[in-house]
Amino acid sequence: MINIAICDDIFEVTSQTEALIKKYNPTFSIDVFHNPIKLIEFLSKSNYHLFILDIEFPDSSGLEIASRIRELNAQVPIVFITSFDSYAMEVFKLHTFDYILKPLNEEKLFPVLDKVIKYLNIDEKHFVFQFNKVNYTLPLQEIVFFEKNMRKVLIHTLEEDYTVIMTTRDLLANLDDNFVRVHNSYVINIRFVREIRNDYLTLDKDKSPDIWIPISKNYKLAARKSILMKLREKIR
């Protein structure tokens, strides 16, 4: 189930946004907040897949809320709805997912929801494997990167690490196009890329320190091209 938080101090806007989302998909779970302080109080104990925020509040800013969200979760999509287009630069500095001008309607919101679903891998693709006679099924969206060590593959997820005996060919055959090989020993999930440099990149694993992954000469051009194309898709 997809959990969505809507925060706007105008009741008509939240009602309209909620109705549009329910029309798009009635199975989505929606929490509505009219006070940004209440939303901030819920952040540490909630598990939202998408935030839809107004930018301007009487005593605070949606940008401040987004900054707080980013401290807790670097990947969750944040969509701003606003009556003004003068905040675009500030919005994209926070790595937000999209920016919609009011009044909200299907033509504006539904394509954004389509992108969110694609970004979150809502089709529930999984990586299935067996190790020590135990079967595992991991959602691809929760795998940060794979690390090859001889015959073993170390699977680094958001929560814990796993091991499987698998060839690189079989590994790549079971992944989608969100995964890119950047080195003989590393296959990374583009969704977690924070920064890409000439010979390395960093991955953001929520509250953990950034993970440094080398980019080898053999994969540099193809990997950078794939990563940059995917990252552009996120902000279209």
Q: Look at 32 and 159; give whichever has higher pLDDT.
A: 32
Give the per-residue pLDDT at 203: 92
Q: How far apart are CA 118 and CA 90, in angstroms?
A: 25
In the predicted model, is pLDDT for residue 154 greater than 90?
yes
Average pLDDT of span 41-63: 83
Give the per-residue pLDDT at 233: 63
**Which domains does the chain show, CATH number per domain?**
3-120 (3.40.50.2300), 126-235 (2.40.50.1020)
| Residue 74 C-beta-side C-alpha neighbours within 13 Å | 16
Average pLDDT of span 99-122: 85
155: nearest Cα among 124, 123, 130: 130
- Look at 3-7, 98-102, 200-204, 220-224 and tell me which has the smallest mean pLDDT: 98-102
Give yes or no for a contact between 5 and 52, defined as CB atoms under 8 angstroms apart: yes
Write out the DSSP string of 81-147: EES-STTHHHHHHTT-SEEEESSP-HHHHHHHHHHHHHHHTTT--EEEEEETTEEEEEEGGGEEEEE
Show Cβ contacts of residue 68 under 8 Å, excluding neighbours closer than 6 positions. Answer: 40, 43
Give the per-residue pLDDT at 90: 54
- What residues are paired with 135 via a beta bridge? 130
- What residues are paired with 163 via a beta bridge? 154
Q: How far apart are CA 222 and CA 172, in angstroms?
A: 15
3-state secondary structure of 157: strand
In the predicted model, is pLDDT for residue 204 greater than 90?
no
Separate counts of helices (H) and strands (E) for the chain: 7, 15
Give the per-residue pLDDT at 149: 92
Q: How far apart are CA 163 and CA 204, in angstroms?
A: 21
Q: Which pTM value belongs to this model? A: 0.54
Give the per-residue pLDDT at 137: 82
Q: For the chain, percent helix, then strand, then coil, each to nearest 5?
A: 35, 35, 35
Give the per-residue pLDDT at 88: 52
Give the per-residue pLDDT at 26: 83
Give yes or no for a contact between 34 and 8, defined as CB atoms under 8 angstroms apart: yes
In the predicted model, is pLDDT for residue 224 greater than 90?
no
- Look at 92-106, 134-148, 170-184, 215-229 and tell me which has the smallest mean pLDDT: 92-106
- Characterize the bridge pairing of strands 50-54 and 3-7: parallel
Q: How far apart are CA 43 and CA 7, in angstroms?
A: 12
**Residues, the chain:** 236
